[in-house]
Structure 1
């Protein structure tokens, strides 16, 4: 009878300890994700996969196709859809936010929480773009784009931590 009681107490103690072990692993995973995000952003070689477009007018648009904004060394590779009012565009609508161009005035600041604020500008044959992106420590991102010939637009997405180059 005494051994059954001891076994029961041991099982209860083990069951009480399991949630604290899983909480530690969750915290460790969160810290690992935060560090991976920081390293990617600092390397200036990353890709943000976009899943929502937010035009100035109208509703948010959930994107079903793969759209992205990629920074590689000193260039930007923008493959983003555009929804909104255009003031001056080439005949046929132009290519909008689908372009490759060299980066200008690239700045990146990290805050205390591990969030990165990235600002840069780029020029395509059609327009001049000012990008402002915020990448949070959990990998989610928001992108704001201001253009000369079109209305501003914002995007939400996630940093691609899987395909490290």
Structure 2
């Protein structure tokens, strides 16, 4: 019984030490992220899309139309062209959209992806937990407005949430890099 206790303690210490080693952030990473945010000149490329899980999304999954490794709540974007670029006060994006539309569908269905191009409004930056930055702003396409919130981490990972006025919400995770 005593040997089982010792083995359990050793395994627990091993897992805890692995977790703490992977979560340390260097001063260089913190400074690099700070520079990206201050310069307002970065591009995010997403690896995963997280649409709201609905019955319609379940039907799409059942049809076999989603990429391999995807589910109704997490869609693999690796190999699919996508980006969101902030350059000063301007934004451009091409983000594949998975979810439900409510209204304002353009004739011919040409507004499937989220294609933002223009000036951002109400741009705010705040510090988050673990040396992250939270950036929020509004942007629009030709036919709809979006409220966008992104969290950027020192490891250069990103998490972006988009809330549109005519679509169900969607989030993306990926990585951020300097646009230059």
Normalising by structure 1, we get a TM-score of 0.77
Q: Which has the larger radius of gyration?
A: 1
Query: Cα distance, 1:113 vs. partner?
Result: 3.0
Moved over 6 A (4+): 26-29
Q: Distance in 2 between matches of 1:131 and 1:157?
A: 15
RMSD value over aligned CA atoms? 2.1
Deviates more, 1:107-116 or 1:96-105: 107-116
User: What aligned pairs does 1:56-135 form with structure 2 within 5 A after superposition?
Assistant: 56-57=52-53, 58-63=72-77, 64-88=79-103, 89-95=105-111, 96-111=113-128, 113-135=130-152
Count the aligned residue pairs: 138
- Indicate how the Cα distance of structure 1 residues 87 and 27 shifts in structure 2: closer, same or farther if over 3 A, else same: closer
- The answer to which structure has the higher strand fraction is 1
User: What aligned pairs does 1:10-25 form with structure 2 within 5 A after superposition?
Assistant: none
Q: Secondary structure of 2:91's match?
A: strand
Stretches of structure 1 that go unaligned for 5 or more consecutive residues are: 1-25
Q: Secondary structure of 1:37's match?
A: helix
Stretches of structure 2 that go unaligned for 5 or more consecutive residues are: 1-21, 54-71
